Amino acid sequence: MNPYWISLRRGFISQLQHERADILWGIHAFVEPVFVAFVVIMLYRFVGTSSQDYATYVVFGSGFIGVWAMVLSFGGKSIFQERMQGTLELMFLTPVSLFTFSFGKILSSAATGLVSVAAVLAVGKFVLRLPIHIESPGLFLVSLVMTIVTLSVFGLVLASAYMLTRRVAYFMNLMQYMIYVLGGLLFPISVLPFWVRPISYSLSLTWALDAVRVSVSQNAWESSVFWMDAAMVTFLTAVYFVVAVVLYRYIRKIAVRDGKLSVY
Amino acid sequence: MESVIKTYDISREYIEYPSFFKRIRGEGSRIIVAVDNLNISVHRGELFGFLGPNGAGKTTTIKMLSTLLLPTKGTATILGNDILKAPNEVRKRISVVFGGERGLYWRLSGRDNMRIFAELYGLDSSERMDRIDMLLELVGIADRADSKVETYSKGMKQRLHLARGLVHDPDILFLDEPTLGLDPTIAHELRKTIRNLCTREKKTVFLTTHYMFEADELCDRVAIIHRGTLIANDTPENLKRQFGTVTPVTILLRGVVPQVEHVLTSRKGVHYVESGIQDNTTKLKVGLDQDKVCVEDIVSLLEKTHEIISVEQGSPTLEDVFLELTRS
């Protein structure tokens, strides 16, 4: 069997096993996104926005907050965690790629995070009676997969970057809220100051979530916005991937040079 | 005899800076030599002990030999493969088992821990299950294989470490203080398993330990490293013969006698004095160079002021050799 496939698969399964054993998983996956959805609805209602306008922001924004929390908490710090546990050196000695192993772990976290989207969708539709109807189910699924993959690749960049610092918790908190705002999860990025928007546009999540919302609200097959979103997600994901590979190779090199595979 | 591990002037230095800003400016650096021009060779099937005090360079050496750390000078070959030129070939044929409780997935079962590494080393599914069962049986934790590692005792974790290290059937095992912190019974069992790895499974074992009796009992040959430099390399018997010029003498004194060692340490021929108090007696362990001072001299000196219960003269142990070499 291909060693890349072995490590990807094993990373995916290991992460599932770890998540199953962690009670925080339930909080990230269900409690946090549903709670956020309630808060955001109250805010939108307070300012008098119609539910037609905010429904997709609330449901998919809150849902993907859950996915993002999973990527950040379980996937993104996976390499750092391996180092803390003392398993990173042992992983390093195996003949497979640590990079694909980590990617498998992050992909697993992001994929299981989809239960957050499902939970908020169900609560939004059946409890809060939000007007949600998926107009293009096929492209909706495509956009979900696209979002999961791009978030995972972004998580891989973070996972490598976290190896350079010991203050992972601090950066995790910072990243969590920054992405809520900059990625336009809960409101359109058009409300952000003009100078902030380039940062938002450099985040593939911004485009991916737009694709999700377009596939829900209109016939996405005929929407140029959807295809533009898809193209941007593909391009930015490729850029993130290259950054992750370069960063990972650099970290691997300095870790062996400085003997820091087990230092944390 | 075929050498499966051979080092060529392998060295490792670290540069230390007092602060981040001085590091950027390259000021105030201090070079710490962890391993200095080390030359050793280990034969196939041998149980080789690598001894030294804390910070002597044992773990650094293991990390360099296992490709986890780059040497700053020199190199080594493992089964004929250069650690710098063919690290991937080296990794496939070795295993590293660190002592302590790190290096395991605590939230997973012992079997799941094994499964992860078996898969990553490319064992196919049928071979994998049989091998995992066999190894868990070998190290004696088969009955708890499906419990989470966080519920294991220290000894069980260490045995799981060993089983994990054997999962891909490596030719060479690097064991870094595998019995650290284990109770005597468990440590004894583990030592038996390690010995069997060499005699029955024909593995080469490179072992670091702080326990001299362990090295004496287990190892075919030992090397002693001190402040990064190799200071001895031979069989335990030869080392005792060669360097065991100091005779350990145990003297029991009645009563609690504080600071008695000061009376002896200044005397010529007394290499070391260790004292301990137990049940209203003071136990002295004195290392004597019998060419310069005899036991009777020491006894008569102590008799003047203290009541002696017993005097026991031993033969030099590896620990005496170690103390002698590392003290000088």
Q: Does residue B127 belong to the interface with chain A, where contact is any CB pair within 8 Å?
A: no
Q: Is the pLDDT of residue B84 over 90?
A: yes
Nearest CA in chain A to B69: A256
Least confident of B84-98, B228-242, B281-295: B281-295
Q: Does residue A92 belong to the interface with chain B, where contact is any CB pair within 8 Å?
A: yes
Closest CA relative to residue B244, chosen from B253, B235, B252: B235
Q: Which of A7, A14, A259 sits opposite B63 (nearest CB)?
A: A259
Backbone dihedral angles phi then psi of residue B252, each to the nearest 5 degrees:
-105, 125
- Interface contacts (A, B; CB < 8 Å): 79
Q: Is the pLDDT of residue B193 over 70?
A: yes
Q: Does residue B116 belong to the interface with chain A, where contact is any CB pair within 8 Å?
A: yes
Q: Which pLDDT does position A262 carry in this prediction?
A: 66
How far is residue B52's CA from residue B103's CA, in Å, rounded to a whole number?
23
Q: Which of A10, A93, A259 sits opposite B96 (nearest CB)?
A: A93
Q: Does residue B17 belong to the interface with chain A, where contact is any CB pair within 8 Å?
A: no
Q: Is the pLDDT of residue A263 over 80?
A: no
Q: Which pLDDT does position B322 carry in this prediction?
A: 86
Q: Which pLDDT does position B221 carry in this prediction?
A: 95
Other C-beta atoms lying within 10 Å of the C-beta of residue A65:
27
How far is residue A96's CA from residue B119's CA, in Å, rounded to a whole number?
10
Top pLDDT among B60 and A162 is at B60
Interface probe with A: pick from B17, B120, B175, B180, most Cβ of A within 10 Å: B120
Q: Which of B63, B88, B102 sits opposite A95 (nearest CB)?
A: B88
Q: Does residue A17 belong to the interface with chain B, where contact is any CB pair within 8 Å?
A: yes
Q: Mean pLDDT for chain B?
A: 88
Report whether A163 contacts A83 (CB < 8 A).
yes
Coil, helix or strand for A35?
helix
Inter-chain CB proximity B105 and A101 less than 8 Å: no
Task: Give contacts of B 260-289 with A, CB under 8 A.
Answer: none
Q: Which of A14, A86, A92 sits opposite B116 (nearest CB)?
A: A14
Inter-chain CB proximity A95 and B68 less than 8 Å: no
Give the pLDDT mean for B282-306.
81
Closest CA relative to residue A140, chosen from A54, A229, A204, A52: A229
pLDDT tens figures, B19-43: 878 888 878 888 889 999 999 999 9
Position A135 confidence tier, pLDDT thresholds 50, 70, 90: confident
Q: Which pLDDT does position A201 carry in this prediction?
A: 93
Q: Which pLDDT does position B17 carry in this prediction?
A: 83
Q: Which of A9, A256, A262 sits opposite B70 (nearest CB)?
A: A256
Q: Which of B69, B106, B107 sits opposite A256 (nearest CB)?
A: B69
pLDDT tens figures, B107-143: 899 999 999 999 999 898 888 999 999 999 988 899 9
Helix (H) or strand (E) holding B22: helix B20-25
All domains of chain B, ordered by start, with CATH?
A: 3-234 (3.40.50.300), 243-327 (3.30.70.260)
Question: What percent of chain B has pLDDT above 70?
Answer: 99
What letter does residue B148 receive in the DSSP assignment? B
**Using a CB-CB distance cutoff of 8 angstroms, which residues of chain B are in contact with residue A10?**
116, 119-120
Position B317 confidence tier, pLDDT thresholds 50, 70, 90: confident
How far is residue A21's CA from residue B147's CA, in Å, rounded to a whole number?
12
Q: Which pLDDT does position A203 carry in this prediction?
A: 94
Q: Which pLDDT does position A264 carry in this prediction?
A: 54
Backbone dihedral angles phi then psi of residue A202, each to the nearest 5 degrees:
-85, -5
**Using a CB-CB distance cutoff of 8 angstroms, which residues of chain A are in contact with residue B98?**
86, 89
Region label for B179, one of left (φ > 0), alpha (ψ between -120 and 50) or beta (otherwise): alpha
Position B50 confidence tier, pLDDT thresholds 50, 70, 90: very high
Give A163→chain B minimum CA distance, Å.
16
Q: Which pLDDT does position B328 carry in this prediction?
A: 60
How far is residue A258's CA from residue A262's CA, in Å, rounded to a whole number?
11
Helix (H) or strand (E) holding B149: none
Least confident of A157-171, A180-194, A236-250: A157-171
Q: Does residue A22 belong to the interface with chain B, where contact is any CB pair within 8 Å?
A: yes
Report whether B76 contacts B40 (CB < 8 A).
no
Residue B318 class from Cβ within 10 Å (0-12 exposed, 13-18 middle, 19+ buried)? Answer: buried
Q: In sequence order, what DSSP letters do the residues of B165-220 get, joined into one string?
A: HHTT--SEEEEESTTTT--HHHHHHHHHHHHHHHHTT--EEEEEES-HHHHHHH-S
Q: Tell me the ipTM for this assembly.
A: 0.81
What letter does residue B71 receive in the DSSP assignment? -
The number of angstroms, rounded, from the C-alpha of A194 to the middle of its chain's C-alpha atoms is: 25
Q: Which of B14, B102, B120 sits opposite A96 (nearest CB)?
A: B120
Top pLDDT among B182 and A37 is at A37
**Both tokens assigned to B71:** 């040497």
pLDDT tens figures, B221-265: 999 999 999 999 999 999 888 877 778 889 898 888 777 777 787
**Using a CB-CB distance cutoff of 8 angstroms, which residues of chain A are in contact with residue B116?**
10, 14
> Which positions ≥6 away from B192 have C-beta within 8 Å?
none
Q: Is the pLDDT of residue A220 over 80?
A: no
**Using a CB-CB distance cutoff of 8 angstroms, which residues of chain A are in contact with residue B119?**
6, 9-10
How far is residue A205's CA from residue B275's CA, in Å, rounded to a whole number?
69
